[in-house]
Amino acid sequence: MHPAIPHLIELQRVDHNIGALRAEIESYPKRIQQADSKLSGARAAVAAAKEAHANALKERKKFELDVDQWKDRARKYSDQSGAVKTNEAYKALLHEIANAEAEVAKAEDRQLDAMMSGEEFERRVRHAEAELKEAETSVAAARKEIHSRYDEKQKLLKVALAERERISAPVPKDLLELYERIAKRHNGTAMAQVRDQQCRGCGMRVLPHIIQELNQETNEEIYRCEMCGLILYTLDPIPVANSGPSSGSDKASTASATNS
């Protein structure tokens, strides 16, 4: 197995961790937006309830005005009753009085309905305001937690990036570039373990002589899966990662793998 393989295995582990941290960090603005949307919805509900209540009050005022107008008309007709000269005129006046009183009754019924509706709309306003207050408390707590987690993940990302620098330092530049090119094409994965004579990246059978070479600690070649192109390694045995500078032969074998 190439002496840089243990470093690349560890590097892939760190890169997967970095990818997960970055994905989580990128999700926080959306989470804050979702929390704010919840708050905006609660505020809109309060505004809608208040508007409905205001419209109900307008309707109530209108019906109150109708009641007063019809009552005034009935009184005017009653006041005119003493001045009529004929029975026909008196009957016509009584008809107008009865009609006005009927309209008074109708307007009073509408006024009562408006009062009851107004009470319902007022209840809705109180309910919406209570939900808004609850949403404000909930969203404030959520934003605080999100910002706290964001800061925590940023710190962990900083540590992981520093760890990546440390792990990748002993890897020859050309091999590191090969690793990064492969990882870019495979969603952050460049390494594939050989187990049960198969590449665990795609399931392709690995030839026995390649497995034998991978198991040799003295081997300095890089082998890639013929199907998926991932860099192959085996865990039995894994040589101890050596942080020292790589030899010239290491770089030569790596360069041949890079160009393949």
The domain that holds 144 is classified in CATH as 1.10.287.1490
Q: Give domain status of residue 253, yes or no.
A: yes
**From CA 215, how far away is CA 211, in angstroms rounded?**
6
pLDDT of residue 84: 66
Identify the domain containing residue 118 by its residue range: 14-164
pLDDT of residue 208: 93
pLDDT of residue 190: 97
3-state DSSP call for residue 250?
helix
Q: Give domain status of residue 190, yes or no.
A: yes
Same domain, 199 and 138: no
Domains: count for the chain: 2
Q: Give domain status of residue 88, yes or no.
A: yes
Q: Give domain status of residue 101, yes or no.
A: yes
pTM value surpassing 0.75: no
Same domain, 111 and 31: yes
Output the furthest CA–CA distance in the chain (Å, rounded). 133
Q: Give domain status of residue 9, yes or no.
A: no
Q: Give domain status of residue 232, yes or no.
A: yes
**From CA 56, how far away is CA 124, in angstroms rounded?**
12
Q: Give domain status of residue 2, yes or no.
A: no
Same domain, 46 and 83: yes
Same domain, 141 and 244: no
DSSP 128-189: HHHHHHHHHHHHHHHHHHHHHHHHHHHHHHHHHHHHHHHHHTTS-HHHHHHHHHHHHHTTT-
Same domain, 120 and 155: yes
pLDDT tens, position by position, for the chain (260 residues)?
788 999 999 999 999 999 999 999 999 999 999 999 989 999 999 999 888 888 877 777 777 777 777 777 777 767 676 666 677 776 776 777 777 778 777 777 777 777 777 677 788 888 999 999 999 999 999 999 999 999 999 999 999 999 999 999 999 999 999 999 999 999 999 999 999 999 999 999 999 999 999 988 788 899 999 999 999 999 865 444 444 444 333 433 333 343 34
Same domain, 78 and 143: yes
Same domain, 55 and 149: yes
**From CA 232, how far away is CA 219, in angstroms rounded?**
13
- Show which of 164, 199, 222 is a domain's final residue: 164
Same domain, 157 and 177: no
3-state DSSP call for residue 236?
coil
Residue 1 CA from chain centroid, whole number: 45
**From CA 246, how far away is CA 172, in angstroms rounded?**
7
pLDDT of residue 227: 95
Q: Give domain status of residue 102, yes or no.
A: yes
Backbone angles phi, psi at 239, to 5 degrees: -70, 150
- Show which of 128, 144, 164 is a domain's final residue: 164
Same domain, 46 and 105: yes
Long-range contacts of 32-35 (CB under 8 A, 24+ apart): 32/143, 32/146, 35/139, 35/142, 35/143, 35/146
Same domain, 128 and 206: no
Same domain, 143 and 234: no
pLDDT of residue 217: 78
Q: How far is CA 77 from CA 74, 92, 106, 171, 173, in A?
A: 5, 10, 18, 107, 106
Residues 6 or more apart from 133 whose CB is under 8 A from it? none
Same domain, 155 and 186: no
- Show which of 120, 136, 164 is a domain's final residue: 164
- Is the Cα dihedral 118, 122, 127, 132 positive or negative? positive
The sheet carrying 198-199 orders its strands as: 198-199, 191-195, 231-233
Q: What is the CA radius of gyration of the chain?
A: 41
The answer to whether the CB of 220 falls within 8 A of the CB of 255 is no
